[in-house]
Structure 1
Amino acid sequence: MDIDEFATNVEKMSDEDVFELMVALEQASEADGNRTDTDIVARIALVETEIESRFPGQLLAPFKQWKLTGKS
């Protein structure tokens, strides 16, 4: 899936799905051999932008809170 298609799909996801995707991308970026994968970095940036657009002025606070509360 190219990055434009990825961005379109992210826009259609629920908040929880977006948060789960961010966790998966974070894990992928930390995996051996993926630390400099520009595709993963670009996808993380797109998901961050989507979270910030859904929660204006809160940056990634809703995602961080979701992670702390057990990913409800």
Structure 2
Amino acid sequence: MAEGQDFDTAAFADQFSAMTDEELFVLMQKLEDESGDIPSKDRDSSEVFVRIAMVETAIEERFPGQLLAPYKDWQQRRLDI
């Protein structure tokens, strides 16, 4: 992972426990937005996708058995406002 060599996965994951659900969902949305700007040829080496996977896991651990449904519901509520 060329671009992510300085990325500290443990430090990034440690931040999740202090985040509210809203903050975690906002982070996920921000990462998804950033991922849209990454050319497909660079996606395997992008730390953005590593971060997305980590946030997905944190959401799934916070909402057992619901996968990303709480995040998708949050997105929908934001669109309805």
Same fold (TM over 0.5): yes
Q: Distance in 1 between matches of 2:12 and 2:38?
A: 23
Larger Rg: 2
Aligned residue among 5, 16, 22 for 2:22: 16
Alignment length, in residue pairs?
A: 72
Larger RCO of the pair (alpha carbons < 8 Å, separation 6+): 2
Structure 1, 32-41 or 18-27: larger mean CA deviation: 32-41
Computed over aligned residues only, the root mean square deviation of the Cα atoms, in angstroms, reads 2.0
What displacement does 1:38 show? 2.5
Alignment gaps of 5+ in structure 2: 1-6
Residue 4 (structure 1) aligns with: 10
TM-score normalised according to structure 2 size: 0.78
List, as ranges, runs of 4+ consecutive aligned residues in structure 1 with deviation greater than 6 Å.
none
Q: TM-score, normalised by structure 1?
A: 0.87
- Percent identity between the aligned chains? 43
